[in-house]
Amino acid sequence: MATKIVIDPVSRIEGHLKIEVLVDDGVVKEAKSSGMMYRGLENILLGRDPRDAARIMQRICGVCPTSHGLAAAFALDEAYGVAGSITDNGRILRNLIQGANYVQSHILHFYQLGALDYVDVAACADYSGSDPTLKKVKDFIGRGHLGPFVPRYEGDYRLSKEENRAAVAHYVEALNMRRLAHEAVAIFGGKMPHNMSIVAGGVTAAPSVDKITAFLWKIDQLLDFIDTCYLPDVLLVAGRYSDYFGIGAGCKQFLSFGVFDMDSDPDLTKRHRYFPQGIVKGADLKLRRLDPDKITEEVDSSWFVNHGAVHPYEGSTVPDRDKAGAYSWVKSPRYDGEVLEVGPLARMLAAYAGGDKEVQGLVNGVLQQFNASPEALFSVLGRHAARAIECKLVAEKLKQWVLQLQPGQPTFTDFPLEVTSRGMGLHEAPRGALGHWIVIEGGKTKNYQAVVPTTWNAGPVDSQGQPGPIEQSLIGTKVKDKNNPFELVRIVRSYDPCLSCAVHVVTPRGEDLGHFVVG
């Protein structure tokens, strides 16, 4: 008989996600991914000065505000006709602010969010050595404070006691590292979270020799942590849990908008970006060109008034909590009607397919180490490995890029405000492809739509009956113990979902739409 498993909320992710699966004969037959919290920002912008978007849209999320500030700035650059005139300083500063946020976000994901699926913190309970961090963790557990470390998955921890303890020490050190990365963002971003310096036309922060030195010093320490802890820990986990190279494949089609501008081409589909833009389908690893006109959002299974499959410029956000058949506050973005996965794996595949030798070397190295074929990248471990590889590459690039800043040279290009136009901001947040679309009329924002990474990954079934990527990853998964479904949460967490980003709408009158118990 089929059994229903409901995980609500999925912990150690950002925001409120519910996963519901139907298991028959030990295998997931159906899966539903539901964004369970209603909040938002798109509608707040309507009627406001368009420039507010680069400030207000950052409030979507405290983890990736930088990405939303930049996606808004890219959209505004186009709307104000300044996209082709971003100075080198402005372009590089944007890359530095975003890159340092990637490093923070990826370390956060592996240690604070993902690692406890694989690392047994209870290995510290009988620690008798002298390491002050492990002694503190032991005391913490001894007082019954399992808070950040639960839920735990008895029965499938595979590291040795010593390996577990070392990983727990790295978990604690990762907190310090994330503070350093936040500080690096703030050097040029003004503060973190919610950067102040990202604006249409460039960046308002001025580079100086002392800021460059401070940034470099922080990135150096972060790179050391990535090389000596993050990458080895991911490889250790991959070695012990190598079956997860064959679990959680998903839709096997990937989208990257491209990130880290290398020039200021006014057309974001032509701009040269360090990680390229494009679509990769399956293991042929060919990079296909993106046509942003083919992007649509549907709300057939979402609690919104139905509008068919519409381009974000025509999108709307009108809630309908009682809609029959709907089961999520997340919309269903599609590309030419197809389901696509986004995130570090999508970016690394696009770079690999685009011929990036460094990415090819690192990805091939991981595959050879585990004697795996490229197909193995479409998996739980493929996502973790791609994130770690990207983290290293970005940190290394940040050290080079910061030295290209020119103190005393302009960081911002001014532009006339009288505009009736629209603009598209294609960008990559740490969690994947992020697009903002703005329509301006009479100097005010007439429509604003954000299509964010977790909307692509965690979205529900569309009008064609196609489940979203996370749902597809869950379907077909073997569940050993329905009371302890660690396979399912490992799959979901490998996507690094963020529901605060994915659900970002608000009812205009602010009425009470429902009560959700998430404790």
User: With CB cut-offs between 5 and 8 Å by kind, which of Mg ion, ligand NFE, none does residue 61 bind?
Assistant: ligand NFE
Closest approach, Cβ 449 to Mg ion, in A, equals 5
Closest approach, Cβ 451 to Mg ion, in A, equals 5
The residue among 14 and 297 lying less far from ligand NFE, judged by its C-beta, is 14
The residue among 379 and 457 lying less far from Mg ion, judged by its C-beta, is 457
Q: Is 502 in the site for ligand NFE (CB under 6 A)?
A: yes
**Token reading at 462:** 């569309």
User: With CB cut-offs between 5 and 8 Å by kind, which of ligand NFE, Mg ion, none does residue 184 bind?
Assistant: none
Distance CA 121, CA 134 (A): 10
Task: Candidates 9, 10, 13, 14: give the one binding ligand NFE (CB under 6 A).
Answer: 14
Task: Candidates 114, 500, 503, 505: give the one binding ligand NFE (CB under 6 A).
Answer: 500
Binding mask 383-422 for Mg ion (x = CB under 5 A): ----------------------------------------
Closest approach, Cβ 108 to Mg ion, in A, equals 23
Contact between 184 and 218 under an 8 Å Cβ cutoff? The reply is yes
Closest approach, Cβ 45 to ligand NFE, in A, equals 16
The residue among 166 and 259 lying less far from ligand NFE, judged by its C-beta, is 259
Distance CA 467, CA 4 (A): 18
Distance CA 417, CA 76 (A): 11
Distance CA 69, CA 65 (A): 6
DSSP assignment of 331-361 equals -EEEETTB--B-SHHHHHHHHHHTT-HHHHH
Task: Candidates 92, 348, 498, 505: give the one binding ligand NFE (CB under 6 A).
Answer: 498
Site residues for ligand NFE, window 425-454 (CB under 6 A)?
A: 429-431, 434, 452-454
Distance CA 252, CA 274 (A): 23
- Helix residue ranges, H only, 226-343: 231-240
Number of Cβ within a 10 Å radius of residue 158: 13
Distance CA 165, CA 158 (A): 13
**Phi, psi dihedral angles at 425 (to 5 degrees):** -110, 100
Distance CA 273, CA 256 (A): 11
Q: Is 504 in the site for ligand NFE (CB under 6 A)?
A: no
Distance CA 20, CA 18 (A): 7
The residue among 372 and 451 lying less far from ligand NFE, judged by its C-beta, is 451
Distance CA 192, CA 189 (A): 7
Question: What contacts 100, CB < 8 A, 6 or more positions away?
Answer: 181, 184, 185, 215, 218, 219, 398
Closest approach, Cβ 494 to ligand NFE, in A, equals 14
Contact between 389 and 366 under an 8 Å Cβ cutoff? The reply is yes
Site residues for Mg ion, window 415-474 (CB under 5 A)?
A: 450
Distance CA 444, CA 53 (A): 11
Closest approach, Cβ 104 to ligand NFE, in A, equals 11
Q: Is 278 in the site for ligand NFE (CB under 6 A)?
A: no
**Token reading at 181:** 């990365």
Closest approach, Cβ 105 to ligand NFE, in A, equals 6
User: With CB cut-offs between 5 and 8 Å by kind, which of ligand NFE, Mg ion, none does residue 454 bind?
Assistant: ligand NFE
User: With CB cut-offs between 5 and 8 Å by kind, which of Mg ion, ligand NFE, none does residue 434 bind?
Assistant: ligand NFE
Contact between 197 and 188 under an 8 Å Cβ cutoff? The reply is yes
Number of residues this chain uses to bind ligand NFE (CB under 6 A): 17
The residue among 14 and 261 lying less far from ligand NFE, judged by its C-beta, is 14
Distance CA 312, CA 319 (A): 17
The binding site for Mg ion (CB under 5 A) comprises 450
Judged by the rule CB under 6 A, the positions of this chain that interact with ligand NFE are: 14, 61, 63-64, 67-68, 429-431, 434, 452-454, 498, 500-502
